Amino acid sequence: MEYFDVMDPENPGKYLRETLICIEKRFGVVITIHDCRGLLYSKSGEHIFEDHRRHTHPFCTALRYSMPFWHTYCNRSCLFEAESLAREAFRPYLHKCWKGGTELIVPGVRNGSLVFLMYAGVFRETGETPPEILPKSVKQEFCALKELDRETLEQLSRVLFTFGQSVIYCSTELCRKEDRRRMSSRRHEIRRFLTENAHGEVVLEDLAAYLALSPSRTSHLVKKLFTVPFRSLLEDERMTRAKNMLLNTEMPLKTIAGAVGFRNVFYFSQVFRKHYGIPPGRFRRTHCTGSHIKKYPAPGGRRV
């Protein structure tokens, strides 16, 4: 009898990364994962999919950081617009970027909330020609894009959807295994509530309803188990996510603020400064020297 290794419960990230590479090879695509809520991080602050967090397809990277405003256009098209469309239905869909390339986007959803987006591509529609706006070198990259048929795209969407469910399970269950061993049942329930809801507009009463307790009893329980009030516990969870996103993404402060549960970027900055001693912008500049954020500054100059 021959057996095969599967997921190591103590290190699910390794298995997930290897599975993602297998999917890329099987379908001949490049897959990118956009962590919308800052949840796909290990306790040490490392992203589970470090090598898949940025679009690395040659068509995506061609002139992106050298042509004026291209980086901005790419973020607007494949980050903000794509996420907005995904929220409308929480279903896989085809997205055409501003340069004409097409990607399959598959949302990762948990309890009605968007957690991450998976981008698979880049390809072109059958017989499609490159947009005239593109320089010659990028047109050549466009013409080299693979054409994917609808049957293949349907298969890929099913595979990625199933893979996404595994990611959600691992990131919220297996990666917290050690925490659960040390936690009481109630302590774990409260942590679980924060994991699932910290990015939304939640208050103590919402946690009370989740635990089927009165607000006063819930407030007392939180202080007893964590030695801090609910609001502080909520802010700690949001600030941890914000710190990870500042260190590992190029998202603007306003986007990060919204992703971790703040409607007002100025209030977000105040809370962040209270936690870490410096504003979020300075924190990023201070701690990201030598990272991709420094290597690839947003381009400036005249419009194209």
At residue 199, φ and ψ (nearest 5 deg) are -80, -5
Q: Which domains does the chain have, with CATH numbers?
A: 12-174 (3.30.450), 183-293 (1.10.10.60)
pLDDT given at position 121 = 93
What confidence tens digit (pLDDT) does each residue in 193-206 have? 998 899 999 999 99
Tell me, rounded to whole angstroms, the distance of Cα 105 from its chain centroid. 13
Q: Collect the ranges in the chain with pLDDT lower than 70.
A: 9-10, 172-184, 288-304
Give the up-direction half-sphere exposure of residue 222: CA atoms within 13 A in the CB hemisphere: 24
Decide: 194 and 188 in contact? Cβ < 8 Å. Answer: no
- The residues pairing with 105 across neighbouring beta strands, listed in sequence order, are 93, 119
- Tell me what pLDDT residue 174 has: 54
pLDDT score recorded for residue 118: 97
pLDDT in the model for residue 273? 92
Rounded to whole angstroms, how far apart are CA atoms 256 and 252? Answer: 6
- Give the model's pLDDT for residue 184: 65
pLDDT of residue 297: 34
Predicted pLDDT of residue 157: 96
CA gap 301, 17 in Å, rounded: 38
C-alpha separations of 25 from 51, 120, 132, 271, 298 in Å: 15, 12, 31, 44, 31
Q: What is the CA radius of gyration of the chain?
A: 21
The confidence score (pLDDT) of residue 291 equals 41
Cis geometry, peptide bond prior to residue 265 (ω within 30 degrees of 0): no
pLDDT value of position 298 = 34
Q: Give the pLDDT of residue 303.
A: 30
Give all strands (DSSP E) within the chain, no chain letters: 30-35, 93-96, 102-110, 113-124, 146-147
Would you state the pLDDT for residue 299? 32
